[in-house]
Every structure is written in structure tokens, then in C-alpha cells.
């Protein structure tokens, strides 16, 4: 869906982005991860030509982006900003309706689509007549997301979308974000400096440094097959948590004990969830959770200790 070839951006003597190439398949979710100044935001903004590249080519949906009029290109790409970028002088309804307005949608279509999105994003319709300053940070970010989603653009670019939120709100919105059906079909490129966010939300992660992509791969690949010390060091501090997030229940399925009797527990997870998520439920009074394999419909009843044991066993099977 997105193809980037030998892309560079030079400011004076500095190479902000230095000859990078990558591809994002349709429906894929690429996270550009790195410290500030690594070139991740510059890369993102070159995709919708908010920044013009010094060299290199970008194709979106098979079309060279430089061959299109920038306004038309951008109308077909959703964009979410860190500080939400809502128009302070527009109501929530008007903010969400900006791109439909540019595309000259009729009012009813815009209204229906707005209500649909509000529902999906857990926003009350009472907010429609309010101004952004009257909303909480979490609500503002949801409205910003609704604005980016309203036209069903196949590509979504996100620049540190949850960066300005407090921890609790951020976790909550990240959860919702993962579950939102609208996003499943989309090709998403997201920029973040938050390693956890990257591992939580990305199918694939590109770790950038000094304008270059140091390594790109799935979360598990980055953790267990780091190409160099930079990657190893980058992920070192939060390694355990990241590993627990990178390994799914499916990966450890065979290390988990089979259930002998009919399992009884209030919670049932499927094997696509990662170990970290499963452990989150095993707190306080909850001693057991049920895990169900979608492939075989087999159900297992596990405790916290059994999960940890399975994780250690999995680790040992990995090549050094």
C-alpha cells in the first residue's frame, strides 16, 4: 500500500532522514519508533507531503505522491496529531465535518457518519455542539481520531497520537484503538517514542536513529533477534514487559497444562492475546482464567504461575 524508496530529507548540512526505504502492506500497522530527532516525524510528514523530500520516491496505493496535487492527496489520507490540532473556533461537529466539507458531501451523509463514529469511539452526541476547549484531553483525542476516520480513507498517519494524554487515559484509549473495527482494515503508519505503545499497537516496528532505520520487523523479531547492540540497548530497560507483550498465548499454547476437568472461570481469552494481557487479569481474587484456542476450540484453565512457567519454557526454546 505504501512504498518508500531511498527517501532523504536534508536541512542545511543535517540529514534529518537519510536514504531510507520500506514498505507497508495493506491493512498493516507500522510503528516508527525512536528518540526525538531520529527523523521519524519527518518521515511521516513526507508521506502526505507536509514536508517535501530532498530525494527519493513515495508511492501510496501504487501512485507516486509527487504526481498528485497535495490537497487532493491529503484529503485521502487520515491524519492524527499529538496535540489533536482541533480548530478551537469550530464545534466538535464542525471539526469532524471538515474533510467532508472539502469533499462536498451532503449534510445527511456527514451527519450519519459522524453519529456512527461517535458511537464507536464512545463519545456522547451532546458533545457535538461543544467547542474543543470544553472537552477533556481524552475526548479531544477521540474527536481528532473521528475527524481522521470520517471519510474512510484507506491510509491513516498518526503523529504521537497518545503522547499528550495522562497514563490512565492513554492506556484506555490504546485499548479502544486496538479494538476499533474501523482500524482493522486500514494501513496505518504511527510515530511514537514510547516503546510500550509501539509493542502494544504495532504489527511491525521500525526503530530509527540518526535519520536511518536501524531495524524493522515484528515486535518478537526485534526482541529476540536484534540485529545489533543499538536495538538490544534500546529495548533493554523494559525487556521483560516487552517480551511478555511480544509473546502471544498461541506461542506458549503447548507449554500450558491441559485441563483435566470441565474448567470454571469467569474470564475467557483467546490465544491471539499476549501474555502481558492475560497476566493483567490474574490479579487480586482472580486465580484462574480460561484460554480458548480458536483453531481447535480446546479450552485450558491456567494460573499466574503456570503462565510464567510457560513463558520461561518458550524463552528456552529460542535460539541464543
299 binds other proteins (CB under 8 A): no
Under a CB-based contact definition with an 8 Å cutoff, are residues 270 and 291 in contact? yes
Q: For other proteins, give the closer residue by CB, 98 or 290.
A: 98
72 binds other proteins (CB under 8 A): yes
- Tell me which of 12, 88, 284, 319 binds other proteins, using CB under 8 A: 88
Q: For other proteins, give the closer residue by CB, 6 or 134.
A: 134
- Tell me which of 5, 75, 212, 248 binds other proteins, using CB under 8 A: 75
The least CB distance from residue 188 to other proteins, in Å, is 15
> Contacts with other proteins in 112-171 (CB under 8 A)?
147, 157
Q: For other proteins, give the closer residue by CB, 72 or 267.
A: 72
> Contacts with other proteins in 29-48 (CB under 8 A)?
48
Return d(Cα 155, Cα 174) in angstroms, integer: 19
The neighbour count for residue 178, using CB atoms within 10 Å, is 12
Stretch that binds other proteins, among 58-66, 80-88, 134-142, 263-271 (CB under 8 A): 80-88
The strand pair at 204-209 and 212-217 is best described as antiparallel
Q: For other proteins, give the closer residue by CB, 15 or 81.
A: 81
HSE-CB at 135 with a 13 A cutoff on CA atoms is 28
- Tell me which of 15, 93, 98, 286 binds other proteins, using CB under 8 A: 98
The residue count for binding other proteins (CB under 8 A) is 25
Alpha helices in the chain (DSSP H): 40-47, 70-75, 92-96, 98-102, 107-120, 137-149, 167-179, 181-184, 195-201, 219-224, 229-236, 239-246, 275-281, 304-317
Cα–Cα distance list, 159 to 44, 85, 89, 191, 303 (Å): 8, 11, 23, 5, 39
212 binds other proteins (CB under 8 A): no
The neighbour count for residue 171, using CB atoms within 10 Å, is 15
85 binds other proteins (CB under 8 A): yes
Q: For the chain, what's the residue count?
A: 320
Write out the residues near other proteins by the rule CB under 8 A: 48, 50, 70-77, 79, 81-89, 98-99, 102, 147, 157
Amino acid at each position: 500500500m505504501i512504498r518508500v524508496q531511498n527517501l532523504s530529507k536534508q536541512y542545511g548540512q543535517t540529514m534529518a532522514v537519510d536514504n531510507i526505504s520500506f514498505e507497508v502492506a495493506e491493512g498493516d500497522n507500522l510503528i516508527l519508533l525512536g528518540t526525538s530527532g531520529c527523523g521519524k516525524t519527518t518521515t511521516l510528514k513526507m508521506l502526505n507531503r507536509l514536508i517535501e523530500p530532498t530525494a527519493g520516491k513515495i508511492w501510496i496505493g501504487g501512485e507516486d505522491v509527487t504526481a498528485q496535487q497535495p490537497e487532493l492527496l491529503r484529503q485521502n489520507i487520515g491524519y492524527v496529531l499529538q496535540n489533536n490540532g482541533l480548530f478551537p473556533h469550530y464545534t466538535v461537529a464542525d471539526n469532524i465535518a471538515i474533510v467532508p466539507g472539502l469533499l462536498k458531501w451532503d449534510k445527511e451523509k456527514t451527519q450519519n457518519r459522524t453519529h456512527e463514529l461517535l458511537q464507536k469511539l464512545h463519545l456522547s452526541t451532546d458533545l457535538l455542539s461543544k467547542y474543543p476547549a470544553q472537552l477533556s484531553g481524552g475526548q479531544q483525542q477521540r474527536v481528532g481520531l473521528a475527524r481522521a476516520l470520517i471519510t474512510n480513507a484507506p491510509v491513516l498517519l498518526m503523529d504521537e497520537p497518545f503522547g499528550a494524554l495522562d497514563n490512565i487515559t492513554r492506556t484506555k484509549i490504546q485499548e479502544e484503538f486496538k479494538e476499533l473495527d474501523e482500524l482493522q482494515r486500514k494501513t496505518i503508519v504511527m510515530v511514537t517514542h514510547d516503546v510500550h505503545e509501539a509493542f502494544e499497537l504495532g504489527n511491525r516496528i521500525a526503530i530509527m536513529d540518526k535519520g536511518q532505520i536501524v531495524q524493522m520487523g515484528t515486535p518478537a523479531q526485534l526482541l529476540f533477534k536484534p540485529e545489533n547492540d543499538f536495538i538490544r540497548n534500546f529495548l533493554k530497560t523494559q525487556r521483560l514487559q516487552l517480551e511478555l507483550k511480544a509473546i502471544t498465548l498461541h506461542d506458549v499454547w503447548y507449554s500450558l497444562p491441559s485441563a483435566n476437568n470441565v474448567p470454571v472461570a469467569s474470564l475467557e481469552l483467546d490465544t491471539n492475546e499476549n501474555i502481558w494481557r492475560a497476566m493483567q487479569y490474574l490479579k487480586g481474587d482472580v486465580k484462574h482464567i480460561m484460554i480458548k484456542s480458536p483453531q481447535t476450540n480446546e479450552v485450558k484453565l491456567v494460573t499466574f504461575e503456570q503462565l510464567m512457567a510457560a513463558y520461561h519454557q518458550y524463552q528456552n526454546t529460542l535460539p541464543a
